[in-house]
Structure 1
Amino acid sequence: MPKPQITMIKKMRVFLFLLCVYTSCSADQYRQRAEKLMKETPLIDGHNDLAWQLLLRYNNQLSKVDLNKLNGTHTNIPKLRAGLIGGQFWSAYTPCDIQYKDSVRQTLEQIDVIHRMCQKYPETFQCVGSSREITESFRKGKVASLIGVEGGHSIDSNMATLRLFYQLGVRYITLTHSCNTPWADNWLVDEGLDPVESNGLSEYGKKIILEMNRLGMIIDLAHVSIKTMNDALQLSKAPVIFSHSSAYALCNHKRNVPDEILKKVSEKRGIVMVNFYNQYVTCSSTANLLNVADHFDYIKKIAGYQTVGFGGDYDGVSSLPTGLDDVSFYPDLVAELLKRNWTDVEVKAALGENFLRVFQQVEQVKSNSSADDEPIPYEQIKNQCRSGYGYQKQSNNGTPLVLLPTVVSLMYLAHYLLV
């Protein structure tokens, strides 16, 4: 082989070696920077369905599972630690097929198992209910654990249940899941797969929004119809969130958020917490970490970096992007954002500062005004599984009108006997 050719080959090898070294060093640099930022600012994830997995696998018997060794799920304690999770909304989820049945009981059981997680693993989890407590928990090196109820059917169209959920630590409610409630339409309405029933929010649904504002409970618009989104955005006195949704422009799935809503969320100072489910990322069965980062980029472009957050939906979906296989992979996604020239300020905002701002504003709107105690009209919720106690119409003096014929008869009888 001619000497010049040998020299060229050697130079090429040196170049390739240096390129590999540079690429590796560059990747390590972004990863190290990501970890540094995540140790300074809590990554607060908007949605994780571990509690649902505990129900399916162990019927919520924590005595039969060790979360340090749990296999077959996207989430366990070592994975959370590796993923540098600072705050997590655990979903208290019940499926739509138990609406009008025992949804309240099942939701209470899911709330209970989340509280028991905090009690069984106090070195890892701290159940919290305020923005201040999230920050305090993070400083202690714990995962600040919050509760979100996924689906308005869980309150059974009842304000008292809503208020009691708040007292039990619930800090957001997703207005619908994949079914209409008697007071709000879900995303399947936009697909033409469910009928329009409330045309967004009914009058009672609007009362629920205001009562959530009064309580200091976050309004979550993941899973709702476009009309429901618009109604809630117009009515709410506080910012709203999408706890686990992505950008519709990149994947035209009705669970995602269209541009016009992204802009309104930004104007309301709310956030969209990006979902990792493949079908919402690429509208196909496959996706990768880069595709997810594209959604972060897009929301940032349309609505600003103050409008984006993380909402992985781990343990609630059947397929996840390559490179985001479980909760331990969060630093890789953060590193990718840094690689895409996101500044430290922008990354910290997305990690948790955006959510903390929203939560603080929700807390500021909270008031001590009287609770709304007007029940939903009985005809809107009447079914064979529900009693009608309390719905009898009242006369001016408080006597149930259904008893008036008997009262009148007795009066006539008394009059006859006395004459």
Structure 2
Amino acid sequence: MGVQGKSASTQRLADQTEFRGNGKINRKVAIGAVAGLAVLATVLGVAIGVPLSKRQADNTDGSTSLQRARDILSNNPLIDGHNDLPWQYKKQANNSVESIDLEQSLKGIWSPTHTDIPRLREGRVGAQFWAAYVPCDSQYKDAVRLSFEQCDTVRRFVKKFPDTFQFVTSAQEIEDAFAAGKIGSMIGLEGGHSIDSSLATLRMFYDVGVRYMTVTHSCNTPWADNWLEDEKPLAEQEFGGLSAFGELVILEMNRLGMLVDLSHVSKATMEDALRVTKAPVIYSHTSAYTICNHYRNVQDDVLQLTKENNGVVMVNFYDKYINCPPGNTTNATLSQVADHIDHIKDLIGADYVGIGADYDGVATLPQGLEDVSTYPEMFAELIDRGWTDEDLIKLAGGNLLRVFRAAEEVSKQMAADGVPPYEELIDESTLKNKSCRWEGY
């Protein structure tokens, strides 16, 4: 989300929030420097740095770490939790799918651009949650319409490139698409403001293929607190987590089989959702607070609750959530992202961590993770840190598949138990803006 059109509270934190506007990432100098060093190292016969030399070193089977990473991702689906390509279609092409050839590089056509089919293939992406995002300023206005347009954009670009993409709505369909050589494509609804406090609207989004909803974006809904509330004492936060209606939203998502996404929400909302939900949760694009003390990240005590819930934290690559106190440096690096992944693994185990890079939703990224082609480099780094193939397969997508299947089983059980759709309406007195609502309905 770009600076333009932000609310005041979000704009003052523009340097710390995701970017979905028209910025530039100029990498020519950096790429040239790295290339020059590589040539020099070849001539002199010396390593140009520990990470590169390690990845060039042979493993016990004679392969390099990068080759091993590529092999793992070629045989097991890498499922990324969050990519904002649909928003780039909105911002840069007015949702015109027909005018954009994703089979060609978008470098130099869209700026910034992190995603196209050649780079998805190079990055060994096996499945992707495409984010249906609309700005918080659309709340109480046309958020529902704009969100359905984003869903439509996803459905249309997936249909346009059938040799690459396959629209999927279940864990099994992800695996089936991967077996067919396709990138399984799903929709994640990024922000509870998109349903306009309506459980019926939530159900309609499920029917068009939405398989997770982020409970809030960087604004409160009329029933849940977002992460910016953590700047205040808990007693001063609007709801102190979820309202009673917010708890019903979580339960209706469980009944549908829609994943509950706790990225962007306040700590109290995380805790409330983990208390209420009957199914494992996800954090589609969130990192570790202990490594970078930013309220968009997950704190250790909540990580422990997430383990008890059997959920998964899909680590974000945005440099402002990766590189900040207490361990900040001049520039964010791939190694720092690996530190976040390692922290979650070391604290609660390899069964509870995944990847949610946030490509095309942020302006700046760590060195070495500039676009969707770079996932194998991350996995090579983890191989150099001693990760086993089994744990890397869990990180890539195994954990997300487990959580997805568990949510599907909860939905089936609720249906078997005769749980009907939740029909409660939100108390209109809790709405801050009624100007766009018909009083007679």
**Superposition deviation, residue 134 in structure 1:** 0.1
**Hey, what's the Cα distance between the residues in 2 that align with 1:175 and 1:18?**
51
Match runs of 1:9-408 below 5 Å: 17=45, 23=54, 24-26=56-58, 29-69=64-104, 70-71=106-107, 72=111, 73-192=113-232, 196-283=237-324, 286-366=331-411, 367-368=414-415, 369-381=419-431, 383-390=434-441
**Hey, what's the Cα distance between the residues in 1 that align with 2:389 and 2:225?**
39
Paired amino acid for 1:160: A
Structure 2's unaligned 5+ residue stretches are 1-40
**Hey, what's the Cα distance between the residues in 2 that align with 1:244 and 1:119?**
26
**Hey, what's the Cα distance between the residues in 1 that align with 2:155 and 2:142?**
20
Paired amino acid for 2:171: S
**Hey, what's the Cα distance between the residues in 1 that align with 2:134 and 2:281?**
22
**Hey, what's the Cα distance between the residues in 1 that align with 2:222 and 2:215?**
11
Could you tell me whether the CA contact under 8 Å between 1:182 and 1:197 is conserved in 2? no
Structure 1's unaligned 5+ residue stretches are 1-12, 391-419
Deviations 1:317-368 (A, max 9, x none): 1110000000000000011111100001100000000000000000000033
Could you tell me whether the CA contact under 8 Å between 1:306 and 1:349 is conserved in 2? yes
**Hey, what's the Cα distance between the residues in 2 that align with 1:300 and 1:171?**
25
Aligned twin of 1:408: none
Could you tell me whether the CA contact under 8 Å between 1:118 and 1:126 is conserved in 2? yes
**Hey, what's the Cα distance between the residues in 2 that align with 1:344 and 1:267?**
24
Calculate percent identity across the aligned residue pairs. Answer: 52
Deviations 1:158-182 (A, max 9, x none): 0010000000000000000000000
**Hey, what's the Cα distance between the residues in 2 that align with 1:107 and 1:389?**
25
SS at match of 1:26: coil
Q: What TM-score comes out, normalization by structure 1 length?
A: 0.87
RMSD, matched Cα: 1.9
The runs of at least 4 aligned residues of structure 1 exceeding 6 Å deviation read 18-22
**Hey, what's the Cα distance between the residues in 1 that align with 2:207 and 2:291?**
39
Aligned twin of 1:9: none
**Hey, what's the Cα distance between the residues in 1 that align with 2:161 and 2:198?**
33
Q: What TM-score comes out, normalization by structure 2 length?
A: 0.82
Could you tell me whether the CA contact under 8 Å between 1:378 and 1:388 is conserved in 2? no
**Hey, what's the Cα distance between the residues in 1 that align with 2:375 and 2:233?**
34
**Superposition deviation, residue 196 in structure 1:** 1.9
Could you tell me whether the CA contact under 8 Å between 1:220 and 1:240 is conserved in 2? yes
